[in-house]
A and B are shown apart, each in its own frame.
Chain A
Amino acid sequence: MPSIDDVTNTPDELTDDEAEALLEDADLVQDMTGEVCPYPQVEAKKGLQDLEAGELLVQETDHVPCTENVPRAVGDDAEAQVWRSGDATYRIYLRKQA
């Protein structure tokens, strides 16, 4: 069956181990499960405002388009990576830039 995943342009993907290690290091975690655009974009921008350069924001989502749209919304404010659970959930890792 076609999947929205097939047509979503995500940033670089993390391995399971990388994703777990980084999650433990996260400075802010936002659970956006069940939420759709534009709320996660807005929350990501607000979350990054509260962080210092180099700190990490992780968003958990089950809305695939967010894996493309959230990184695009924050633009150069953060370096983005994505982890796919393989079970229809995703994490978006946003490292705040200077």
Chain B
Amino acid sequence: MIEEESTETVRRRIDRDEEFDLIDIREDDDYADGHLPEADHVTIEELEETVVDRDWADEVVVYCYRGNSSIQAARLIAEYGDAERVVSMAGGYQDWEPREAVAAD
């Protein structure tokens, strides 16, 4: 059973500079258009290939578009990775509200 965390909880983790892996499993274009701070982009296909060998942080947060596929991806990491706790971000990127627009350089 994969636990879910709200976007607010994930934001607090980021603000506190907590140590965890933040994984974005969405499509390439959508990640390029915008993503959570410091999120790693790892598609499900890449995750299948790398989940065993990657050195996972103790805690992992996975997100997708709405918090559906991230449940299965989180299960995959929990099952095959060495993380102690893997959660899915409820609501996904859709529920994430960037605090401020990032100005283009």
Q: With A2-B48, A2-B79 given, is the CB distance from A38 to B65 under 8 Å?
A: yes
Q: With A2-B80, A4-B44, A6-B79 given, is the CB distance from A38 to B68 under 8 Å?
A: yes
**Residues of A contacting B: mostly:** loop
Bound Cα distance A3, B73 (Å): 10
Q: Is A65 an interface residue (CB 8 A)?
A: yes
Q: Is B72 an interface residue (CB 8 A)?
A: yes
Number of interface residues of B (CB under 8 A): 20
Q: With A2-B51, A2-B79, A36-B27 given, is the CB distance from A8 to B72 under 8 Å?
A: yes
Bound Cα distance A64, B65 (Å): 15
Picked from B44, B48, B49, B79, the residue with its CB within 8 Å of the CB of A65 is B44
Q: Is B76 an interface residue (CB 8 A)?
A: yes
CB of A64 within 8 A of CB of B80, answer no
CB of B66 within 8 A of CB of A37, answer yes
Picked from A1, A6, A65, the residue with its CB within 8 Å of the CB of B68 is A65
Q: Residues 51-70 of chain B: 1 if any A CB is under 8 Å from the residue's CB, otherwise 0?
A: 11000000000001110110
Which residues of A come within 8 Å of B, CB atoms? 1-4, 6-8, 36-38, 41, 63-65, 68-69, 73
